[in-house]
Structure 1
Amino acid sequence: MSLMTLATTITGGHNPDYYAGRADAHDEHNDVTLTELTHRSAVIAEHHPSTMYALGYADRVLELRREHNARTAAQTDIAHTSSPS
């Protein structure tokens, strides 16, 4: 017996530009710093013709920043608690 894997689709009023912006930010985050991504996000917000693309890009950059901050806090906590007294 096999089970079908369901994948969500972009339907019901979702704008594909939003997801394209998220995808581009996600793809670029391995090659540049978060500061550079934030700058690119500001430039895209100012000049890109699609507001939804700019919003998707900015949303993904903010998520990446929150992930980075959470990882840094966790590593700091581990370093603080595991250091010899």
Structure 2
Amino acid sequence: MTTMTIALADTDGQDPAYYAGRADAYDDHRAGTDLDTLIVRLGYLMNAHPDLAYVTGYADRVLEIRAETAAVTAAETELAHTLGGAL
């Protein structure tokens, strides 16, 4: 089942394809696609997709997912070190 992501009607002058790319990356990730696969898909999009705004939106969301994943990993590592010393 696919989750439909709706972009706001007011795109603040940005190309709607940009938001479509962000939404597709978001949907792919929510559907269980891991970060490595998203990065590979982004590589294919960069080489073959005709709409630069779409690719830019997809790339922006993939980079955000990467940053979120790194932040969670860092927080969990810090917690493990803190709790590990207390045990």
Compute the TM-score of the two structures, normalised by the length of structure 2.
0.83
CA RMSD in angstroms comes to 1.5
- Over alpha carbons, which structure has the higher Rg? 1
Cα deviation, residue 8, structure 1: 7.0
2:59 corresponding residue in structure 1: 58
Aligned-partner residue type, residue 60 of structure 2: D
1:3 corresponding residue in structure 2: none
What are the ranges of 5 or more consecutive residues in structure 1 without an aligned counterpart? Answer: 1-6
Aligned-partner residue type, residue 80 of structure 1: H
Aligned-partner residue type, residue 16 of structure 1: P
* Distance in 1, Cα, partners of 2:11 & 2:57: 14
* Distance in 1, Cα, partners of 2:9 & 2:27: 20
Percentage of pairs with the same residue: 46
* Distance in 1, Cα, partners of 2:77 & 2:9: 37
- For residues 7-46 of structure 1, what are the structure 2 equivalents within 5 Å? 9-11=10-12, 13-30=13-30, 31-46=32-47
The C-alpha deviation readout for 1:13-45, integer Å capped at 9, x for no partner, is: 210000000000000013211000000011011
The C-alpha deviation readout for 1:28-77, integer Å capped at 9, x for no partner, is: 01321100000001101111110000000011000000000000000000
In the comparison of the two structures, how many residue pairs are matched? Answer: 78
Match of 1:32, SS state, is: coil
